[in-house]
Every structure is written in structure tokens, then in C-alpha cells.
Amino acid sequence: MLLSLDYTCMRMAVLTDDVIEQIISRYGGYLGLYNEYVRSMNRRFEERFPGKGDLLTEWEVKSISQGYGSIADFDDFEEAARWFFAHSKEPKFKKLLTEMWPQHSEIKGFPHKESYNPRNILDFNVVEILELMKLYDAVEIHPRTKALLEKIPEGASVLYNDGINQVVSVTDPQAACTLGAGTKWCTSDAETARDYLDKSPLFVLYKNGKKYGQMHMGDGVDPETIQLRNLQNRELPITHEVRSVLIKSGLMEEIFKILSRASGSSCRQRWII
């Protein structure tokens, strides 16, 4: 940082023309043609971030000189700075930098850096901070979910995954046995699983990679043959959360198709409420 290195004794939020010129000279680039813009930017930063106008002015000049952002992007710089100061001291931010950021920055083509100082905004360009904002708000993948997705057996596939809830579709008896391990489902036996799969696929329900239920559409005609079971092979209650998963995964639509062909079914209320 130019100010902390060269102007420690005279650090000021609103910069003099001389200091602005030296900042532009330090980082080069076409901003030398826009001294008045840099002065205006400095004043705007100080109005919005009292005491940090000088730091943010240097940060924007540095970022633009490296090809990230432009003089027309002040709103983006302001948004990125506000977010950085609000989150950079949080443990989650530091974890993000060490666990998710290295691979993400490589994919995005950012210059390689061994490490970042999470408290120094000058270590980041504006685009990096905007990308970190997106990653920060992304749903973190639970370790069990990651393990599940990496070990889906042949004959099974992920039908639905919202980061928290997963539904795995099973079409192979051996896959049904593998995914039924540790439960009391009769489909953990290959021959029984084959009987079920001859009628329709099996659907295993998970939350954060931990299974809690299995569904079968029965014969596809009679709603009474539809099964939704917990790990003990008892009827699984249709809570609001379970219903939401069935709807979002498309399974509820399949149930409704069966119900529409058997309007007098006594189990109709179980699915519609």
C-alpha cells in the first residue's frame, strides 16, 4: 500500500493532488488521464466510508490499473468494499479463502497468489471480491453430501439435489442393495429389489447426505401401492419438508398422475393435504 509505506505520518482520508498523482504514478495505467475523476472518487469514498477514503482510492486505482473494473464502475467498487469490511473478519470468510477460493480463482483465471491477507482490501481486486460475495452466499456442501455424490453406485443417479436435500433414483437391484444397507427395507435383498424395479424405480431420500426414506410408485396404477418408508420400513410421515422435496423433485407430479387415474382412492388425502 503506497500510503502506509510512504505517507505513514501524513495519512489522510481526503487526498491532496500531489498524493493522488503519486498513487496514479505508482500503479500506472490510463488513469493518468483522469486525475479529476480520481479526486472525485476519493471524495465519494470518504463520504461513504469515513476515514477510509484514501485506502479505497488506492484500491480502486490499483484494481483498474490491473484490468479489473473501470472508471464507470464506482457502484461495484462501493458494493464490494462495503461487503468486504462487513465480512472480512469473520471465520467463514477466512475459511472461504483457504478452502473454496484457490480452485475457484484458478477456474476464473485470476493471478495465482499463495495467500491473501483477509484484512487488507489491497490484496484483492474488485472482481475477486465480487466473486467472493457469490461464493460466500452459496450453500456449503455437507461432508456427508459430498461423500454421497462421489459414491453413487452404477444403476443409480441423482434425481434432485438442492444442496441440502437429495433424491437418488435407483434402477438396478444391486444398487438398491447398496443404498439400502443399514435399513430394514426389503429392497436391500436383490431378488426383492428386482420385483419392485420391474414395476418402477426406487427413490432414496437424503438430507445432507444422510438417508431417511425410500419411495416406490407401486404398480403405477393403484395409489394404494405407492410406498414411502423410513429406515425401519415403517410409513414415513409426510411433513412439510418431505412434501417440499417430493414437489421439487417431480415425484409429487408422478403421484398426482396416478391419483388422477383413481379418483376414488382412500389414500388421496395423504398426498394432497
Give, for 156, the enclosing helix (H) or strand (E). strand 156-161
Residues 176 and 243 in one domain: yes
Partners of 205 in the β-ladder: 167, 213
Q: How far is CA 200 from CA 3, 54, 194, 252, 268, in A?
A: 69, 66, 10, 15, 20
* Mean pLDDT, residues 247-270 taken together: 82
Give how many domains the chain has, as a whole number: 2
Q: Is the dihedral of CA 124, 125, 131, 136 positive or negative?
A: positive
pLDDT of residue 16: 72
Tell which of 87, 109, 137 closes a domain: 137
At 74-127, the pLDDT tens digits run: 999 999 999 999 999 999 898 888 877 887 787 778 777 778 888 899 999 999
Residue 253 pLDDT exceeds 50: yes
Q: What mean pLDDT is reported for the chain?
A: 86
Q: Which residues pair with 169 in a beta bridge?
A: 157, 203
Specify whether 187 is located in the same domain as 92: no
- Which range marks the domain in which residue 49 is found? 2-137
Residue 187 predicted with pLDDT over 50: yes
Check: CB of residue 3 under 8 Å from CB of residue 12: no
Question: For residue 8, what pLDDT band results from cuts at 50, 70 and 90?
Answer: very low
- Pair 204, 171: CB distance under 8 Å: no
Q: Is the pTM of this model over 0.85?
A: no
pLDDT at 172: 97
Contacts of 114 (CB under 8 A, 6+ apart): none
Of 108, 137, 166, the last residue of a domain is: 137
Tell me the pLDDT band of 5, cut-offs 50, 70 and 90: very low
Examine the fold and report which residue of 137, 163, 197 is the final residue of a domain before the chain moves on.
Answer: 137
Phi, psi of 271 (to 5 degrees): -90, -30
Q: Give 43 or 23, the one with higher predicted confidence.
A: 43
Residues 46 and 147 in one domain: no
Question: Do 82 and 199 lie in a common domain?
Answer: no
Question: What's the pLDDT tens digit per position in 37-71?
Answer: 888 888 999 999 998 998 999 899 889 888 898 88
Separation of CA 197 from chain center: 34
Is the domain of 8 the same as that of 133?
yes
147 plus 131 within the same structural domain:
no
- Helix residue ranges per DSSP H, 73-222: 74-87, 91-99, 101-108, 126-137, 143-150, 173-179, 190-197
